[in-house]
């Protein structure tokens, strides 16, 4: 910072030159305050979304800068929510970008006392193997003489927080595998 700039930034100087006799207004405004812009202003894009908490279905605008979500706010265009959010919806940024989220597959071996990291590919393969095995173990061609063509070997719980497309594939795959114990929070 040059001397001239330094003097110009000097509050008392500005107090007189900027006609701010109080010295607590325009004259006191810092360089940072002067250049302050909302971070949403710098977003590379605004992505339209829907709040993931309850079923009101509030519209959300997701602001992305440098492939990072920097802000989530209510979408004023939504006729349902008119841009408003509750505390949970307002905490969506913390939910999605906060430190509480895990990003590593963890594995607990039988009788193990601690978690171990596991790579995703291996985990997927192991889960596929186990699904096939449990399916076979619990297979019932018939029950009391009536054909059932099913397995009770594995079950699934979850869905009310998922997308329709996800539920659709869950139901489709597991039904084709013969599973019937497919449930979600609608009961809970």
Partner 1 sequence: MGTSFGRGGATTFQQDLANSDCIVIQGSNMAECHPVGFQWVMEAKARGAKVIHVDPRFTRTSALADIHVPLRAGSDIAFLGGIINYVLEHEKYFREYMLAYTNAATIVNERFAGADELDGVFSGLDRERRSYDVSTWQYEGAEVQAASGKRDQLWAERTRHGVRQSGRGEAHGSGGAEIGTEPRTDETLEHPRCVFQILKRHFARYTPERVEEICGVPREKFLQVCELLTENSGRERTSAFAYAVGWTQHTVGVQYIRTAGILQALLGNIGRPGGGILALRGHASIQGSTDIPTLFNLLPGYIPMPHAHTNEDLATFVEAESAQKGYWGNMKSYLVSLLKAWWGPAATPDNEFRFDYLPRLTGSHSTYETVLEQLDGTCNGYFLMGENPAVGSANAKMQRLGMAALDWLVVRDFSLIESATWWQDGPEIETGELRTEDIATEVFFLPAAAHTEKDGSFTNTQRLLQWHHQAVEPEGDARSDLWFIYHLGRRIREKLAAAARDGTRKEADAERDRPVLDLTWDYPTKGRHAEPEAEAVLAEINGWNADAEPLSTYEQLKDDGSTACGCWIYCGVYAEGVNQAARRKPGTEQNWVASEWAWAWPLNRRILYNRASADPDGKPWSERKAYVWWDAEQEKWTGHDIPDFKATKAPDFEPEEGAKGPDALRGTDAFIMQADGKAWLYVPAGLTDGPLPTHYEPHESPFANLLYGQQRNPVRQLLRHENNRFQPSDGQPGADVFPYVLTTYRLTEHHTAGGMSRWQPYLAELQPELFCEISPELATERGLEHLGWATIVTARTAIEARVLVTDRVSPLRVQGRTLHQVGVPYHWGPNGLSTGDAVNELASMALDPNTHIQEVKALTCDIRPGRRPRGPERVELVERYQREAGITDETGTEV
Partner 2 sequence: MTTARTPVDPAGDSGYADHPPRMGFFTDTTVCIGCKACEVACKEWNAVPEDGLDLTGMSYDNTVGLGADTWRHVAFIEQRKPIGRQDPGLHHDQDVLTMAEHGTATQPPEAGMTPTTPGAGDDFRWLMASDVCKHCTHAACLDVCPTGSLFRTEFGTVVVQEDICNGCGYCIPACPYGVIDQRKDDGRAWKCTLCYDRLGDGLEPACAKACPTDSIQFGPLDELRERAGRRVEQLHEAGVPEARLYGADPDDGVGGDGAFFLLLDEPEVYGFPPDPVVTTRDLPAMWRHVASAAATLAAGAVAAFLGARKGR
- Does residue number 127 form part of the binding site for partner 2 (CB under 8 A)? no
Smallest gap from residue 36 Cβ to partner 1 (A): 23
User: Contact between 20 and partner 2 (CB under 8 A)?
Assistant: yes
User: Which residue in this structure is represented by tokens 């595998």?
Assistant: 177
In whole angstroms, the minimum distance from the beta carbon of 83 to partner 2 comes to: 6
- What's the burial of 72, exposed, middle or buried (CB within 10 Å: 0-12/13-18/19+)? buried
Judged by phi (left if over 0) then psi (alpha if -120 to 50, else beta), residue 144 lies in left
CB 54 within 8 A of CB 88: yes
Within residues 21-80, the interface with partner 2 by CB under 8 A covers: 21-33, 36-41, 71-74
x-or-dash string of contact with partner 1, 20-59, rule CB under 8 A: -------------------------x-xxxxxxxxxxxxx
For 24-42, b/e burial (b = at least 16 CB within 10 A) is eeebebeeeeeeeeeeeee
137 scored as a contact of partner 1 (CB under 8 A): yes
168 binds, among partner 2, partner 1, none (CB under 5 to 8 A by kind): partner 1
Q: Does 168 bind partner 1 (CB under 8 A)?
A: yes
Q: Tell me: does residue 96 bind partner 2 (CB under 8 A).
A: no
Q: What is the spatial distance between Cα 16 and Cα 118, in angstroms, rounded to a whole number?
A: 67
Binding interface with partner 2 (CB under 8 A): 10-12, 15, 18-33, 36-41, 71-74, 83-91, 93-94
């Amino acid at each position: 910072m040059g001397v001239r700039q330094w003097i110009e930034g000097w509050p008392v100087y500005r107090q007189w030159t900027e006609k701010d006799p109080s010295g607590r207004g325009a004259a006191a405004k810092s360089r940072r305050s002067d250049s302050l812009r909302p971070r949403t202003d710098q977003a590379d894009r605004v992505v339209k979304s829907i709040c993931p908490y309850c079923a009101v279905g509030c519209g959300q605008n997701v602001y992305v800068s440098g492939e990072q979500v920097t802000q989530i706010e209510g979408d004023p265009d939504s006729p349902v929510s008119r841009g408003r959010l509750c505390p949970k919806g307002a905490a969506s940024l913390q939910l999605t970008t906060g430190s509480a989220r895990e990003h590593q597959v963890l594995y607990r071996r039988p009788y193990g006392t601690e978690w171990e990291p596991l790579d995703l590919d291996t985990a997927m393969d192991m889960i596929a193997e186990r699904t096939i095995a449990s399916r076979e173990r619990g297979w019932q061609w018939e029950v009391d003489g009536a054909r059932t063509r099913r397995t009770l070997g594995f079950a699934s719980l979850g869905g009310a927080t998922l997308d329709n497309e996800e539920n659709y594939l869950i139901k489709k795959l597991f039904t084709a595998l013969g599973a019937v114990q497919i449930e979600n929070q609608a009961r809970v």
